[in-house]
Structure 1
Amino acid sequence: MLGMIGLFGGLAILIFLTMKGMNLLIAAPITALFIAIMNGIPLFPQLVEEGAVNFLTNYMGGFTGFIASWYLMFLTGAIFGKVMEDSGAADSISQWIVSKIGMKRAALAVVIACAVLTYGGVSLFVVAFSVYPMALSLFKQADLPRRFIPAALAFGSTTFTMTSAGSPEIQNWIPIEFLGTTPYAGGQVSLFVAIFMFVFGYWWLKRMISKAVAKGEKFVARDTDKEVDMQRALPNPFLSMIPLVVVLGITLVFHNLLGTSALIISLSGGILATFLLNKKYFQNFGHAVGEGAMGAVIAIANTAAVVGFGGVVKATPAFEVAVNVMTDIPGSPLIGGALAVAVIAGLTGSSSGGQAIALPLLAPHYLDLGVDADALHRTVAISSGSLDSLPQGGYVVTTIRSIAGETHKDAYPAFGALSVVVPLLGAVLAVILFSIGL
């Protein structure tokens, strides 16, 4: 019981500290230490046998492991975003979009841009880095409150695209290993759910922005914002889109061969394409690359801090008990599977982590019961993208703080509504549709 209190108490404390604005590099290890103590886990490797569970090894293993796996993706993604900004390509695209769909649909433009890149296989973190400069320009021109930018980025990336049938994102591929399905599992239901999430989510986002504007909220510029010179010559908007197409195309070509490593090639290609196509429009190419590199370090450190927290959580006896409880929930196996994956994703701050931990336990048990593998695949995929977006999640902190420079207090209400509530409703709809035999 003490271990379980420590587990969920530690998560609650981490969420509280994150919402209060504490640096995640401090909050995550402190709360992980609290969980370790409450679960009787030794603090240092010198106090246990070689290879045994201990706080320091498990935390730093998760922390450094994430950096080792993702640093170059973060680096190239952040630099790509910055060179798109410095060359004026992001401004050119945003002005063209506004001219076609109008200022009032600036948020829709951001959502669509994120959706296209995400469904094309670009990492969620990279999408946020790449689209943010355009989003900032769009929101500034439309005079919309900038605190909604993280919500628009997350909605376009982590809801109706990330976990839909055919998506090359890892959240749609992990179940294949355990269920013997395909990326298109549950395609018909997935389409219905994706349409629901898009329509309902965009309506909600638009409503929140409209209410804020009606109360007098406007775009507030900051000293750190790059000033937009309205007299500045900008590159052709169609040529400016070519680097995005390059990123998407290279990712699609090399994804099956190289997996996530294809992102390094595709983003490097995007950087090169931006430089070659817009060379004469750059203000300071070298400075943009340097700023992108520094931004990548901050972003990946914040994310790795939460992954380290998850490394300690997964090592606790209480976590194993919690997993067993979730997998033994009575009723429809789809409900139990969806809930188990969602809760574990919330505890570890990772949608892919929630699947990777739950499916080895769920899959054999439910398949033996005759559960439709395609239905289980789609249900757990959709549900994995819900509670992983609680305030302490690595993607959440990176997008809100490191990329957008907002506070949780200002940005998270809309962010959580679209990236937690909407996917949860989508998972419920999927269970219902599968249950009636659709």
Structure 2
Amino acid sequence: MLSMIGLVGGLALLIILTMRGMNLLVAGPLCALVVAVFSGLPLFPQLVGEGEANLVGNYMSGFSGFVASWYLMFLLGAIFGKVMEDSGAADSVSKWIVNTLGMKRAVLAIVAACAFLTYGGVSLFVVAFSVYPMAVSLFKQANLPRRFIPAALAFGSVTFTMTSAGSPEIQNWIPIDYLNTSPYAGWEVSLIVAVFMALFGYWWLKRMINKAVEKGETFVSRENDPVIVDKELPNPLTGLLPLAVVLIISFIFHDSLAQSALIVALLGGVITTLALNYNYFTNFWEAMSQGTIGALIAIGNTAAVVGFGGVAKAVPAFQTAVEAITNIPGSPLIGGAVAVSVIAGMTGSASGGQAIALPLIAPHYIDAGVNPEALHRVVSISSGALDSLPHNGYVVTTVRAICGETHQDAYGAVGAVTVIVPLLGVILAIALFSLGLGI
């Protein structure tokens, strides 16, 4: 009982502290300490035998293990995003999409710009930073309440693109190592689910904005609002080609290199961006440096919650919870979805939730005869649902650091399109796989 109290209390504390703005690198180990103390887990390796569970050993094992597995992907992804940003290629693509769709479709233009860049392999955080200035400009001209900007950015970035078949984002690649699948696993179902999430989520987002406008909400300018610099941008085609290169290379090499294909693909994207847009760079080496720092922050935040999960999974309450989840009656896909969703919610990270859950559930479900491609797609989509609870690193960064909003004002819409919509997508995916589609 105490162990379960500690596990639930540690998670609740993690959510509260991050909502209050505490750094995840501090909140993660602090909340892990709460879990360990309530479960009677020894604090230091010196107090236990070799290989036995303890707070410091388990936390750092989870932290360092995630960094070792994913650092190069995070690094190259962040660098690719920064060189796309510094060269103006990302702005060029975003501006082209916005101009094509027009002012009357301001919200759709923002969502589409984020979706296009995300599916092309640009880091989620870089996409938000890149599109935000245009989002402010569009919302101002359309006189829409700015508290919905975080929802528009998040919806286009972390829902129907992040976890879809073929996406270069790591949330689609982590299952490959455990299930021996490809990034295109279950693509037929993935396509249907992505279209559903895109259409339904956009309708819901527009409905929330229209209701707010009907109640009299308008755009309120701020002194520190970003100003779009009127500088010469590269041709949108030279911004689209690097995105295409990332997708093509990942497709060609995913069979032979598995996860490492993403390293080659992102490197190819960086080289292509440099070759095509060299004359447009403001400071290439500074962009490389900023990308590296961004990668360290992003992987550090994710690893911090993976470390928390490393401690959580060592306590008796976690094992009890996993056993209950993996023995849910009915379709094993339901059990897999619930397990990954819950753990992603506990850790506040889709990638962190997968990294913790898959080693535990993949062997169980594969032995039970579950189709690996179906499990891959369900796990990927489900990881992108409860991960977007208020303590998620991307949510905190987008709502507070980028958009300057509060959780109280902005999170309702963010939660609707990044938690509820993906949950409905998971249900649809399980139903379609259960009918035999894509298997």
Alignment TM-score, normalising by the size of structure 1: 0.83
1:414-429 matches, within 5 Å, as: 414-429=413-428
What amino acid is aligned across from residue 40 of structure 2 in structure 1? G
1:29-428 matches, within 5 Å, as: 29-116=29-116, 122=121, 126-143=122-139, 148=148, 150-164=150-164, 189-211=189-211, 215-218=216-219, 225=226, 227-230=227-230, 232-348=231-347, 349=349, 350-353=352-355, 354-364=357-367, 366-367=368-369, 378-397=377-396, 408-428=407-427
The answer as to whether partners of 1:306 and 1:392 remain within 8 angstroms in 2 is no
The answer as to whether partners of 2:113 and 2:156 remain within 8 angstroms in 1 is yes
Q: Which moved more, 1:175-184 or 1:128-137?
A: 175-184
The answer as to whether partners of 2:125 and 2:394 remain within 8 angstroms in 1 is no
Count of aligned residue pairs for this structure pair: 428
The answer as to whether partners of 2:136 and 2:149 remain within 8 angstroms in 1 is no
Residue ranges of structure 1 left out of the alignment (5+ in a row):
none
Question: d(CA) in 2 for partners of 1:280 and 1:289?
Answer: 16
Structure 1 residue 378, shift from structure 2 partner: 4.7
SS in 2 for 1:73: helix
Structure 1 residue 119, shift from structure 2 partner: 5.2
The answer as to whether partners of 1:387 and 1:420 remain within 8 angstroms in 2 is yes
Deviations 1:338-373 (A, max 9, x none): 323322332344342333322323443x43xxx777
Question: d(CA) in 2 for partners of 1:288 and 1:171?
Answer: 25
SS in 1 for 2:21: coil
1:6-21 matches, within 5 Å, as: 6-21=6-21
What amino acid is aligned across from residue 204 of structure 1 in structure 2? W
SS in 2 for 1:51: coil
SS in 1 for 2:123: helix
Question: d(CA) in 2 for partners of 1:182 and 1:244?
Answer: 19
Question: d(CA) in 2 for partners of 1:233 and 1:338?
Answer: 47
What amino acid is aligned across from residue 271 of structure 1 in structure 2? V
Deviations 1:256-292 (A, max 9, x none): 3333333333333333333333333233333333333
Residue ranges of structure 2 left out of the alignment (5+ in a row):
none
Question: d(CA) in 2 for partners of 1:184 and 1:149?
Answer: 31
The answer as to whether partners of 1:323 and 1:344 remain within 8 angstroms in 2 is no
Deviations 1:72-131 (A, max 9, x none): 3333322332332232223322222222111343443454455456556x4xxx431443
- The 1:213/1:60 distance shift into structure 2, 3 A limit, reads farther
- The 1:426/1:229 distance shift into structure 2, 3 A limit, reads closer
Structure 1 residue 190, shift from structure 2 partner: 4.1
Alignment TM-score, normalising by the size of structure 2: 0.83
The sequence identity of aligned pairs, in percent, is 61
- The 1:49/1:21 distance shift into structure 2, 3 A limit, reads same
What RMSD in Å do the two structures reach over aligned CA positions?
3.4
Q: Which moved more, 1:77-86 or 1:49-58?
A: 77-86
Deviations 1:22-54 (A, max 9, x none): 121111111110001111110000101112111
Deviations 1:187-234 (A, max 9, x none): 655444332212111212233344556654538567595x5332x222
What amino acid is aligned across from residue 287 of structure 2 in structure 1? A
The answer as to whether partners of 2:10 and 2:32 remain within 8 angstroms in 1 is yes
What amino acid is aligned across from residue 105 of structure 1 in structure 2? R
Question: d(CA) in 2 for partners of 1:147 and 1:155?
Answer: 14
Deviations 1:366-387 (A, max 9, x none): 43xxx77766555444333322
The answer as to whether partners of 2:390 and 2:407 remain within 8 angstroms in 1 is yes
Question: d(CA) in 1 for partners of 2:180 and 2:294?
Answer: 39
The answer as to whether partners of 2:42 and 2:54 remain within 8 angstroms in 1 is yes
Question: d(CA) in 1 for partners of 2:246 and 2:294?
Answer: 20
The answer as to whether partners of 1:383 and 1:427 remain within 8 angstroms in 2 is yes
